[in-house]
Amino acid sequence: MDYNHIELENKWRKFWAENKTFAAQDNSEKPKFYALDMFPYPSGAGLHVGHPLGYIASDIYSRYKRHQGYNVLHPMGYDSFGLPAEQYAIQTGQHPAVTTKTNIEGGVDKAGNKIAGYRNQLDIMGFSFDWDREVRTSDPSYYKWTQWIFKQIFNSWYNKATNKAEDIQELIAVFEKEGNANVKAETSQETNFSAVEWSNYTDKEKSDILMNYRLTFLSDTYVNWCPALGTVLANDEIKDGVSERGGHPVERKLMRQWSMRITAYANRLIQDLDTVDWSESIKEQQKNWIGKSKGASVKFKILTPTLSEGKGAIYSPGYMTGGNHSHLLIEKAQAMRANPTEAEAALWTRLISKQLGVKIRQQHLIENYIVDFVCLSKKLVIEVDGEIHNQQIEEDQARTKVLEEKGYKVIRFTNHEVIGNIDKVITKIRSEIEGRASITDNKEQVLPNGEDLGGDYIEVFTTRPDTIFGVNFMVLAPEHELVAKITTNEYKAEVEAYQQAAKLKSERDRQANVKEVSGQFTGAYALHPFTGEKVQIWIGDYVLASYGTGAVMAVPAGDQRDWSFAKHFNIEIINIFKDTDISEGAYEGKDAELINSDFLNGLKAKKAIGASIKAIHEKEVGKGKTQFRLRDAIFSRQRYWGEPFPIYYKDEIPYALEDDRLPVELPEVDKYLPTEDGEPPLARANKQDWKTFEGDRMEYNTMPGWAGSSWYFLRYMDPKNETAFVAKEKADYWNQVDLYIGGSEHATGHLLYSRFWCKFLFDRGYIGFNEPFKKMINQGMILGRSSFVYTLIGSVVSLTDPEDEYIPEIPIEKAPRLFLTFEKANVLRIAKKIKAYKVGSEEEKIVGEAQKIIEEINIKSQSVDFELKKKYPNRIGTFEYSTIPVAYPVDIKYVDNDVLDIELASNDPLFSYLKNAEFITEESGDYICGHEIEKMSKSKYNIQTPDELVEKYGADTLRCYEMFLGPLEQAKPWDTKGINGVSNFLRKLWRLFHQGEIFNVNEEEPSKKELKALHTLIKKASDDLERYSFNTIVSGLMIAVNELTDLKCNNKQVLSELLVILSPYAPHLAEELWSKLGNTESISQEPWPIFNASFLEEDAYAYPVSFNGKMRFKLELPTNLSKEDIEKEVLAAEQSAKYLDGKAPKKVIVVPKKIVNIVV
RNA sequence: GCGGGUGUGGUGAAAUUGGUAGACACGCUAGACUUAGGAUCUAGUGCUUCACGGCAUGGGGGUUCGAGUCCCUUCACCCGCACCA
């Protein structure tokens, strides 16, 4: 009876579906196991053999766990929002929901192409998915909860004190009680406000402030705008400066966008990597992406241009007003800034909101006075007088006089005025400001120290604060906002030219010319915070505006880039490392003692970093800081096919919809394109098109592709829940995903975002675990094996005609092609490269062979049936082929074992050039193709779909073969050749149960040998599965089947246990034989066989006997011999004499049941 | 440049703690059988040598009675990051 895979596999697929064999139980006494595959996007192209690789592995593991008595959750669904469906919709006008459905369920697309459908393709592979739990992200019943989670994030802030996300209502309560001064939050809010101010804020102002705290927020940010796709892209959606999908250019654009404050979780996202069992490379990628660096931020005072070269100086030099005590006063001013009175704080918040149109400074030093507020450009001083000032009226008058002499106007308010009616105060200030001329209106520099010309310090971030005494210049990114302000007139032209040049360079150019040093001095200087020395301020494009503060303190002795810069521009290099030579390059190590470093002298980096941070802190020039490369994730997309936001606007204030209004369903639109004003497609929907509408308008953006996939693993636990995204008790039961299998391409996208959302939901108490995927395996890519044919292009030479008849030029493509088999083409190619050779050399041989091939070609060319030849029989001339072979890919379906089926292939219109062509074949008459291993792609005609193979060999064979190919994680070439071996194995196994046409097993006691073969397999299969070594188990099964075949075993007990081990790999076949053995239940829950070591024990063992480590012969000895007896037996053995050569052995090593080694 | 990974026959690969290198397959060679099949079975197949033997896990060195496995060094390829301060 033959193994009929088609009939048999259909039968069991039906059985499983009807009996819901693989439904997971939400309430079970059994231990749980959650095996998950990465969420597929259902593309119209369908699956090729590479896709199911991971699904097969997770399915095998799931089935194994069921045999082990686990309650297994093994679900599947679709990440069905996405760009391709939308692009297709734009082209064809078809609703993306329709094409998405076709891609999943199968059908015919608009162009008439048959779509197999993801579900059908998955079904034929025999996966044990619990299909009742299927989810689709584009289904409103699913995205309702995506929106709901968004709302929770919107209504949360990150409390640094408790290190978790908390309800925004609690934050509002704090604001109402005491303002924001004591709140420790991950926030973009820079200023403080009091409780009183908070209560006086308008709704819009409150909303704006809360935006600075919410974990998802609206802000004007520079985004990666992709004009071709008409949307914003996240950083991880861009590779090498172009969009990952489609490869379109991307530009920077300022847009109002929703973002996710993932940076709040940066630290935890790095730390908790230690708690998951993932590959090092993925963890490493995440760490790189988050990019944590520890160090310090340091502020360098900018000396004004007046100091630099004396030009334009109106008053005597002095980098700050305040005479000789300025540094003391500055420190005092800083302290006062940090501890404002309530009135000051209140006023400050209002003053900096920029409604006044001018820049105001707080606690600023002028002459010997610290003023409360000053607008330098308008020379207006604003003082708030408290009780202290009442006792100092005289002093205040003197102070006012001095300031007025300097050209300032001083206005005063009392605490009472400020707190009582701040609006009145503001109005007063505004009218004062408007009434005064701006000093920048005339080009003349007015302020003595150039404060009017720019900011007062440059902030840098450094990981090596210990090297601060090595700083003798600074470099700003060319785009740095201070550059224009600090540049002296003298250098203005050069600096602007450099900025312009840097701007024109693309990101790529800048990265490509990493080695090239360029930069420009600005003419400005900063003050070294410790030495008080002047340090030059340069700009250079090796400093990136997007990282840190966009400025560096250059330590040429300790940083190679700074060193190169200094060398290039002849800037002095101060060595700060003892016993190091920095003439050829910087010393970047951490083991040298510091010198020339004041209080750090003698310390090594480890201690010096701490000491320097302490000093920086004490001097109030900076603080210890941890910097992350990770940016907040842009969450808006200007697209149609994505989740709408649960947000509406009223008076331009965004509000979240009430829960009972969710989901906000996607409205119908006339076109899936942006509006003429550049608004996203959803702006096309009128009010009545929205099923949910509130306020003035709904949010027009949609969520990005990763929204739905960031929490889908939770929905599978409770896919039909209408009152919660997942019931808490179900999330508690199923907990983390125990085994997650998928490609490594999601390292910094999906895997980071889902960890972020998981942590968030954990913080807010919705789930009880803060990492989603406990163990992850990344399957390697299956590469295609493309086949090539090698053609020679024909041409006509020396064409003349005795009758002078006109002969048209012969188009090359009209000439019949000549094809060379791979070997011969290769010889020609190699021979072409040989210019000279020695007699008798390998080269000579090749050239000789090439000669022969060329002769063959020449002979062929004589016999070519060439239509022009017939047409002009009188022509004199020769027809010749080039001798340079050109490789063309040919569809692998016409190639078997590298042999091309010329007949079949030439009938394919894609390869019509094979028609009427000439072939120089091997002697056997076969045309042998060349091959190359590369990614599967349509253009290489090397795509292998699982469907054809399942039809040909059966799903069981394909499942086993994909595993048999090699370790799961490794990339490997697909080669259909080997599948025969696996197919033979399953057939051989089938024959164990059959004798001819009859099913035949015996029920006797199994023999010792049978039991040994079986238990060897049980051990191997169990051990190897535990370490996810799927490939070796197939070998183990083959070995067992081979042995049992040799033993002519048809023992029911042995074969039953064999079937259980086989069943995860070849489930259909296992079920069939299981039922034939008389079982009525599915094999899927049958307990895994128990290994019994005693069956493996043998009475004798063939010892490999080595002399000096080289195995010479084997000697069979009883296993119960002692070490001494083994040694005696071995030395006494006949063969030993030869190797001992009469000498006594120096040493004999005996490892019982392993090896004997004799040292002579 | 930094980080991670991989190098074993003609091919995919085994060798889990240092103990017979190449299991299991593919392919190839020869043969048997035959309802001529992509079936089944038998034998052989790392390289080299007529053979004894010698040489072999990218290269070089070391530790060890014994190294694919441990250590040092070096090369090649793949992946990720990259003037990241």
Q: What does the CA dihedral A304, A309, A314, A316 come to, rounded to 10 degrees?
A: 80
Rounded CA–C1' distance between A924 and B41, in angstroms: 26
Q: Please state, in angstroms and as integers, the Cα–Cα distance from residue A1004 to each residue in A956, A994, A1007, following that order.
A: 29, 16, 9
| CA atoms of A409 and A432, how far apart (whole Å) | 9
Percent of chain A with pLDDT over 70: 89
Lookup: nucleotide whose C1' is closest to A980 CA:
B38
Average pLDDT over residues A13-35: 93
| Residue A941 · residue A889 · CB < 8 Å | yes
| Residue A362 · residue A372 · CB < 8 Å | yes
Closest to A921 (Cα-Cα) out of A939, A948, A902: A902
Rounded CA–C1' distance between A978 and B34, in angstroms: 25
User: Residue A699's pLDDT band (boundaries 50, 70, 90)?
Assistant: very high
DSSP one-letter code for A208: H
Rounded CA–C1' distance between A53 and B34, in angstroms: 38
Q: Residue A454 has what pLDDT?
A: 42
Q: Please state, in angstroms and as integers, the Cα–Cα distance from residue A572 to each residue in A471, A472, A551, A839, following that order.
A: 10, 8, 19, 64
Asked whether this complex has an ipTM greater than 0.85, the answer is yes
Q: Residue A1015 has what pLDDT?
A: 94
Contacts of A1142 (CB under 8 A, 6+ apart): none
Rounded CA–C1' distance between A516 and B74, in angstroms: 30
Quick one: tokens of A739?
A: 């085994």
Residue nearest to nucleotide B53 (CA to C1'): A1112
Q: Please state, in angstroms and as integers, the Cα–Cα distance from residue A874 to each residue in A298, A799, A811, A815, A859, following that order.
A: 91, 11, 20, 18, 20
Rounded CA–C1' distance between A281 and B76, in angstroms: 21
Closest to A713 (Cα-Cα) out of A3, A89, A107, A149: A149
Residue nearest to nucleotide B78 (CA to C1'): A971
Lookup: nucleotide whose C1' is closest to A975 CA:
B12
Average pLDDT over residues A600-628: 88
Contacts of A816 (CB under 8 A, 6+ apart): A794, A864, A865, A866, A916, A917, A918
| CA atoms of A547 and A387, how far apart (whole Å) | 45
Residue nearest to nucleotide B64 (CA to C1'): A1109
| CA atoms of A893 and A48, how far apart (whole Å) | 14
Tokens 């102002």 sit on residue: A205
Is beta strand A633-634 parallel, antiparallel or unpaired with respect to A994-995? Answer: unpaired
Rounded CA–C1' distance between A960 and B25, in angstroms: 12
Rounded CA–C1' distance between A1103 and B19, in angstroms: 11
| CA atoms of A1038 and A987, how far apart (whole Å) | 11
Residue nearest to nucleotide B5 (CA to C1'): A281
Rounded CA–C1' distance between A1135 and B55, in angstroms: 23
| CA atoms of A275 and A747, how far apart (whole Å) | 16
Q: Residue A415 has what pLDDT?
A: 80
| Residue A34 · residue A96 · CB < 8 Å | no
Lookup: nucleotide whose C1' is closest to A1041 CA:
B24
Average pLDDT over residues A1016-1023: 93
Helix (H, G, I), strand (E, B) or coil at A355: coil
Lookup: nucleotide whose C1' is closest to A972 CA:
B12
| CA atoms of A193 and A384, how far apart (whole Å) | 16
| Nearest-10 crossing angle of helices A955-964, A5-19 | 90
pLDDT tens figures, A337-384: 667 777 877 888 777 765 677 778 887 777 667 788 888 777 888 888
Percent of chain A with pLDDT over 90: 37
Closest to A1056 (Cα-Cα) out of A1038, A1044, A1039: A1044
Lookup: nucleotide whose C1' is closest to A465 CA:
B85
Closest to A740 (Cα-Cα) out of A122, A119, A54: A54
| Nearest-10 crossing angle of helices A1030-1046, A1008-1026 | 170
Closest to A569 (Cα-Cα) out of A486, A479, A482, A494: A494
pLDDT tens figures, A1041-1061: 999 988 888 899 999 999 999
Rounded CA–C1' distance between A958 and B32, in angstroms: 31
Q: Residue A1018 has what pLDDT?
A: 95
User: Residue A872's pLDDT band (boundaries 50, 70, 90)?
Assistant: low
Residue nearest to nucleotide B83 (CA to C1'): A542
User: Residue A799's pLDDT band (boundaries 50, 70, 90)?
Assistant: low
- The CA R_g of chain A, rounded to the nearest whole Å, is 39
Rounded CA–C1' distance between A1061 and B21, in angstroms: 29
What is the separation of C-alpha A486 from the centre of its chain, rounded to a whole number of angstroms? 40
Q: Residue A65 has what pLDDT?
A: 96
Rounded CA–C1' distance between A922 and B29, in angstroms: 18
Q: Residue A388 has what pLDDT?
A: 58
Lookup: nucleotide whose C1' is closest to A991 CA:
B40
| Residue A269 · residue A286 · CB < 8 Å | yes
Does the structure show a pLDDT above 70 at A317? no
Residue nearest to nucleotide B4 (CA to C1'): A281
Residue nearest to nucleotide B12 (CA to C1'): A965
Quick one: tokens of A963?
A: 């595993």
Contacts of A68 (CB under 8 A, 6+ apart): A1087, A1088
| Residue A235 · residue A635 · CB < 8 Å | no
Contacts of A493 (CB under 8 A, 6+ apart): none
Asked if the bond preceding A663 is cis, omega within 30° of 0, the reply is yes
Rounded CA–C1' distance between A1158 and B18, in angstroms: 17
Lookup: nucleotide whose C1' is closest to A467 CA:
B85
DSSP labels for A264-297?
Answer: GGHHHHHHGGGGSB--HHHHHHHHHHHTEEEEEE
Does the structure show a pLDDT above 60 at A40? yes
Average pLDDT over residues A639-650: 95
Rounded CA–C1' distance between A1104 and B56, in angstroms: 20
Lookup: nucleotide whose C1' is closest to A560 CA:
B83
DSSP labels for A426-479?
Answer: HHHHHHHHHHS--TTTSSS--STT-GGGS-SEEEEEES-GGGGGG--EEEE-TT
Is beta strand A1110-1118 parallel, antiparallel or unpaired with respect to A32-37? Answer: unpaired
Closest to A42 (Cα-Cα) out of A119, A122, A103, A129: A103
| Residue A1127 · residue A1148 · CB < 8 Å | yes
The top-scoring range by mean pLDDT among A258-272, A415-429, A841-855 is: A258-272
Q: What does the CA dihedral A883, A887, A888, A891 come to, rounded to 10 degrees?
A: 130
* Alpha helices per DSSP H over A482-600: 483-486, 489-504, 507-512, 560-568
Does the structure show a pLDDT above 70 at A76? yes
Q: Residue A313 has what pLDDT?
A: 32
Does the structure show a pLDDT above 60 at A813? no
| Residue A224 · residue A546 · CB < 8 Å | no
Task: Output the average pLDDT for chain A.
Answer: 84
Tokens 């942590």 sit on residue: A759
What is the separation of C-alpha A350 from the centre of its chain, rounded to a whole number of angstroms? 43
Does the structure show a pLDDT above 50 at A477? yes
Who has greater pLDDT, A1099 or A1019?
A: A1019
Compute the half-sphere exposure of residue A503: CA atoms within 13 Å on the CB side of its CA. 9
| Residue A914 · residue A905 · CB < 8 Å | yes
Rounded CA–C1' distance between A251 and B50, in angstroms: 74
Write b or e for each residue in A548-584: b if 16 or more Cβ atoms lie within 10 A of its Cβ, otherwise e: bbbbbbbbbbbbebbbbbbeebebebbbbbeebebee
Rounded CA–C1' distance between A1137 and B66, in angstroms: 21
| Burial zone of A497 (CB within 10 Å; 0-12 exposed, 13-18 middle, 19+ buried) | exposed
Lookup: nucleotide whose C1' is closest to A1104 CA:
B20
| Burial zone of A440 (CB within 10 Å; 0-12 exposed, 13-18 middle, 19+ buried) | middle
User: Residue A307's pLDDT band (boundaries 50, 70, 90)?
Assistant: very low
Rounded CA–C1' distance between A1109 and B71, in angstroms: 20
| CA atoms of A438 and A455, how far apart (whole Å) | 17
| Positions of strand B less than 7 angstroms from a protein CB | 3-6, 11-16, 19-21, 23-28, 38-41, 54, 65-67, 78-85
Write b or e for each residue in A729-763: b if 16 or more Cβ atoms lie within 10 A of its Cβ, otherwise e: ebbebbbbbbbbbbebebbbbbbbbbbbbbbbbbb
Lookup: nucleotide whose C1' is closest to A461 CA:
B85
Residue nearest to nucleotide B80 (CA to C1'): A285
pLDDT tens figures, A568-613: 899 988 899 888 888 888 888 888 888 888 899 988 888 889 899 9
Residue nearest to nucleotide B79 (CA to C1'): A281
Lookup: nucleotide whose C1' is closest to A924 CA:
B28
Does the structure show a pLDDT above 60 at A811? no
Domains belonging to chain A, first-starting first, are 320-448 (3.40.960.10), 454-627 (3.90.740.10), 783-934 (no CATH), 946-1086 (1.10.730.10), 1100-1159 (3.10.20.590)
Q: Residue A445 has what pLDDT?
A: 40
| Residue A522 · residue A483 · CB < 8 Å | yes
Residue nearest to nucleotide B26 (CA to C1'): A978
Lookup: nucleotide whose C1' is closest to A1112 CA:
B20
Q: Residue A752 has what pLDDT?
A: 92
Helix (H, G, I), strand (E, B) or coil at A891: coil
Residue nearest to nucleotide B23 (CA to C1'): A1035
Q: What does the CA dihedral A717, A718, A720, A723 come to, rounded to 10 degrees?
A: -150
Lookup: nucleotide whose C1' is closest to A293 CA:
B84
Q: Residue A807 has what pLDDT?
A: 56
Rounded CA–C1' distance between A928 and B33, in angstroms: 30
Q: Residue A1136 has what pLDDT?
A: 81
DSSP labels for A1004-1045?
Answer: SPPPHHHHHHHHHHHHHHHHHHHTT-HHHHHHHHHHHHHHHH
| Residue A636 · residue A225 · CB < 8 Å | no
Q: Residue A319 has what pLDDT?
A: 32
Does the structure show a pLDDT above 60 at A443? no
Q: Residue A846 has what pLDDT?
A: 77
Lookup: nucleotide whose C1' is closest to A235 CA:
B81
Rounded CA–C1' distance between A156 and B55, in angstroms: 70
| Residue A88 · residue A94 · CB < 8 Å | yes
pLDDT tens figures, A204-240: 999 999 999 999 999 887 777 887 777 777 777 777 6
Residue nearest to nucleotide B67 (CA to C1'): A1109
Lookup: nucleotide whose C1' is closest to A747 CA:
B80
Average pLDDT over residues A990-1001: 86
**Greatest alpha-carbon span in chain A:** 125
| CA atoms of A626 and A605, how far apart (whole Å) | 17
Rounded CA–C1' distance between A635 and B71, in angstroms: 50
